Amino acid sequence: MAEKNGCFNGLKCRECGKKFPAEVLYVCDDCWGPLEVDYDYDKIAARLTKETILSRKPNMWRYKELLPIEGDVTVGQHVGYTPLVKSDRLGKALGVKTVYVKNDTVNYPTLSFKDRVVSVALSRAKEFGFDTVGCASTGNLANSVAANAAAAGLRAFVVIPSNLELGKIIGSLIYGINVVGVEGTYDNVNRLCSEIAGHYNWGMVNVNLRPYYAEGSKTMGHEIAEQLDWQLPDHVVCPMAGGSLICKIEKAFNEFIKLGFVDKHDFHIHGGQAEGCAPIVEMVKENRDWVKPIREPKTIVKSLAIGDPADGPFARQTMIGTGGWGENPTDEETVWGIRTLAETTGIFAETAGGVTVAAAKRLIDAGRIKADESVVLCITGNGLKTKEAVEGEFDAIDSIQPKLAAFDELLKKIEGKEPATVS
Amino acid sequence: MAVTVRIPTPLRKFTDDNETVSAEGGTVQEAIVSLQSQYPALKERLCDDSGNLRKFVNVFLNDEDIRFQDGPATAVKDGDELSIIPAIAGG
């Protein structure tokens, strides 16, 4: 094991506060609450300044002291620091003046925010000495575990529902690791992985390594604040599957306030889920503090189709506590969101991104986000992985002979269909 | 009725390291009470002060979440398998 040099003391229960050593633990043995990393913020404040951050390379490890590894970064050294894109055209389409896209569709190496959590989890897995790692996944996480494990020389088993999009299955197989399809929902997969972790003593990133894994998501929030010139936005809209990311964005903002990197600001964090699987949004809308699981999710948004979200109660608390809200757009609205984002920003997001854009539209239309307030949309995955969601939207492309006359004829046809002015 | 209960890793230190144990009862609730009488240290871990299953404890009867059935009142029969799963994995 590398020299111990982390800024955390151990783990503690998010429910009852009981403390645990920084080992492979994820459940409180008193109350069954989830464990999270217990940082030493005085130590962090002594080591990490804005200047230190600015002097480091543009990746998520520029905030290393706020991440739970003890030694050097051994997996995923290049992950993160994705663009924060301001788009007036998207703002116009949504009805707000200032909108930014946090573009994790180009995260490295597997084009989703999951590379953030996996680089932390696998760096930590190596510190613990695991030789086999794995995950329960709706696709993006599997891709990231597969790629990062392959690069690190770790044996890997990624477990997914068998009916995932082809792009997500190939996107794991290509790395030469073991891909296991399960006949059932993500929640069936998740349950199996809990049993696998216990039985085989493997490092399952979102089961027994989850307290470490989940911290990686904070870097999306850290980057947003840094890229806004050390300010917090008025609003953030974030997709929710298990509900972890939205909580970690709030945590990241609060850490930067605590460290004095940003001024205190009244920010509001909103969550989006697909109508066909929205157990957390329903908790917000029905003012209920417990998760009513969804047995059979019915949506094109497979990456968010977690019927029994582990962080549901905490995600609800983040939304309610920050004065945010939850929205659950239909699949039709989601496709509108994907197309609108692409047509106004040049960013092709997967279905979860469509949910985020469509949820933002609902929040703006309802006046929960006002036209003169700033909003950041967390776009977490790449549309090239879920092409099935939009392929039915388009007619077959025009095919012509390689002759200018043929093109002339086609152009007349196209111009006849175009609106009079293009903004 | 004798059912098999699958114990998750974090609780095995309270069941003499047994991965599965046998319990008696006609419902999930009764099987859990039977389990707790064999291993008293499990009681406060699985249930809150009012005796209800804790928020982060999920119970599956033959692979089906009991929240989709009759909850703790779900009937069990000889040979059934109960799994106790921490609710805080995944995502």
The pTM score is 0.93
Distance from CA of A354 to the nearest CA of B (A): 19
Using omega within 30 degrees of 0 as the cis cutoff, is the peptide bond preceding B86 cis?
no
pLDDT score of B91: 76
In this prediction, residue A189 has a pLDDT band, given cuts at 50, 70 and 90, of: very high
Size of interface A-B (CB pairs under 8 A): 99
Residues 6 or more apart from A17 whose CB is under 8 A from it?
none
Contact (CB<8Å) B9/A197: yes
The CATH code for residues B2-86 is 3.10.20.30
How many domains does chain A contain in total? 2
Average per-residue pLDDT for chain A: 95
Single out the residue in A179, A214, A249 at which a domain terminates. A214
In this prediction, residue B87 has a pLDDT band, given cuts at 50, 70 and 90, of: confident
- The reply to whether A20 touches chain B by the CB within 8 Å rule is no
Q: For A46-75, what is the mean pLDDT?
A: 98
pLDDT score of A2: 42
| Percent of residues, chain A, with pLDDT higher than 90 | 91
- The reply to whether A196 touches chain B by the CB within 8 Å rule is no
Q: What is the pLDDT of residues A253-268, one digit of tens each?
A: 999 999 999 999 999 9
- All residues of chain A having their beta carbon less than 8 Å from the beta carbon of residue B11 are 29
Answer whether residue A400 is part of any domain.
Answer: no
- 3-class secondary structure per residue, A321-385: HCCCCEECCCHHHHHHHHHHHHHHHCCCECHHHHHHHHHHHHHHHCCCCCCCCEEEEEECEEHHH
Same domain assignment for residues A123 and A26? yes
Same domain assignment for residues A273 and A352? yes
In chain B, domain spans = 2-86
Q: What is the pLDDT of residues B15-68, one digit of tens each?
A: 999 999 999 999 999 999 999 999 998 888 888 888 888 888 889 999 888 988
Contact A148, A107 (CB under 8 A): no
Q: Respond yes or no on whether ipTM tops 0.90.
A: no
- Residue A391 has which token pair? 């392929």
Rounded CA-CA distance A330/A415 in Å is: 32
Helix (H, G, I), strand (E, B) or coil at A108: coil
Answer whether residue A192 is part of any domain.
Answer: yes
Nearest to A194 among B8, B44, B55 (CB): B8
pLDDT score of A1: 42
Q: What is the pLDDT of residues A344-397, one digit of tens each?
A: 999 999 999 999 999 999 999 999 999 999 999 999 999 999 999 999 999 999
Contact A80, A107 (CB under 8 A): yes
pLDDT score of A421: 58
Rounded CA-CA distance A249/A238 in Å is: 9
Helix (H, G, I), strand (E, B) or coil at A100: strand
Residue A84, φ and ψ in degrees, nearest 5:
-110, 110
- All residues of chain B having their beta carbon less than 8 Å from the beta carbon of residue A292 are 67
**DSSP assignment string, A115-130:** HHHHHHHHHHHHHHT-
Give residue A171's domain range.
8-77+114-214
For residue A3, is pLDDT > 80? no
pLDDT score of B3: 95
Nearest to B56 among A25, A33, A195 (CB): A33
Answer whether residue A1 is part of any domain.
Answer: no
Contact B78, B2 (CB under 8 A): yes
Lowest pLDDT segment from A42-51, A62-71, A350-359, B61-70 = B61-70
